[in-house]
Structure 1
């Protein structure tokens, strides 16, 4: 599609500050506490899982339009950057436990955001082995090279967006750390893509500001 036609795409709000703030409101209302029973904590922690999924779906809508040449590379990257800015905007403290969970949400989404950007830019090797990339990311974290670790993790995410799957064995053997949190975001991308492809067929007039 010619560039001038891309620029004529009607404005569509893939994600908004209001939407993010609604999720923060839900998190506050949950009264989540880490020390509660596993069953109660699981029920209340669902809001944080849903926060992640909602952002992931918004980003998948962007990449779906990019794939259909309804958005240029520059437009897609700009929108993804806007969504990332919303997620990483300053958040007023709520409670120690909830603040920790929101920070965990943002950490997992960081891996996802870089993956989406790498995918749009084509900055990944389609022939790479995801299990080897995961090992390389873990090794880089162990060497305190977090920039390299994030790059390897993002390449995993780009391959997932291209249609590959995360190897269960490699994911199960992940040591606790920031790479594991980033890969949670990649796993959320995979789950969203498997769960439904509705993000590929959305209405310009969808009213999605309220959650």
Structure 2
């Protein structure tokens, strides 16, 4: 029996790729103060997030086509998560805040991907009710329940459901709102293009 922590070689996402984005972030000189330029500079964070999301969608697509067993898909998602959520060396106050927000939103994305692969969700559950439950759990500081609800929302979105605009607009600022921003990024990526489904991911069975 192979060890459960055996490293799976893959090219879905790499540390070099993440570091390249960090290099671009540093070069952007992002600041909150200058409204006109900050939107253009801030695009690097959106693109950085999308790159991670698309890599994970490729893993999901490979699993759905039976080219990648669920156990291997989970291991690869875990590897991508470890790369993207690694603590980043301070760059500047504004950039550090943006990276922290980006990584928090990605926590929601990864929870959704993992929930979908593990099939730990009910396709008939109402997304709006799950969002409300997540917010209520955060308010009572039950963070485990909150992320569990968000994970199910992500799985349902990956299964083809839509995020309800009304629920998303009424979200109070907090962890759940940031996590759901990560789910929103998944939905946007799925709507934007389905080319990731044909990508071979250069998967190698180690």
Q: TM-score, normalised by structure 2?
A: 0.92
Runs of 4+ that moved beyond 6 A: none
User: What's the offset of the Cα at 1:22?
Assistant: 0.5
Residues in 2 aligned to 1:183 and 1:76: alpha-carbon distance in whole angstroms: 22
Q: Which residue in 2 is equivalent to 1:183? A: 180
Q: Does 1:116 align with 2:113?
A: yes
The 8 Å contact of residues 18 and 83 in structure 2, kept in 1 or not, is answered as yes
Show CA shifts across 1:37-67 (max 9, x none): 2x22111111111111100000000000000
Which of 8, 11, 16 is the matching residue for 1:18?
A: 16
- Tell me how large the CA RMSD over aligned residues is: 1.5
SS of structure 2 residue aligned to 1:91: coil
2:80 matched to which residue of 1?
Answer: 83
5+ residue gaps, structure 2, are 1-7
Alignment of 1:1-211 (within 5 A): 12-37=10-35, 39-203=36-200
The separation in 1 between residues aligned to 2:66 and 2:50, in whole angstroms, is 24
Point out where structure 1 has 5 or more consecutive residues left out of the alignment: 1-9, 207-211
How far apart in 2 are the matches of 1:64 and 1:203? 9
Q: Distance in 2 between matches of 1:177 and 1:145?
A: 13
Query: Separation in 1 of the partners of 2:174 and 2:90?
Result: 24
* Equivalent position of 2:4 in the other structure: none
Report the TM-score, using the length of structure 1 for normalisation.
0.90
User: Matched residues in 1 for 2:62 and 2:123: separation?
Assistant: 21
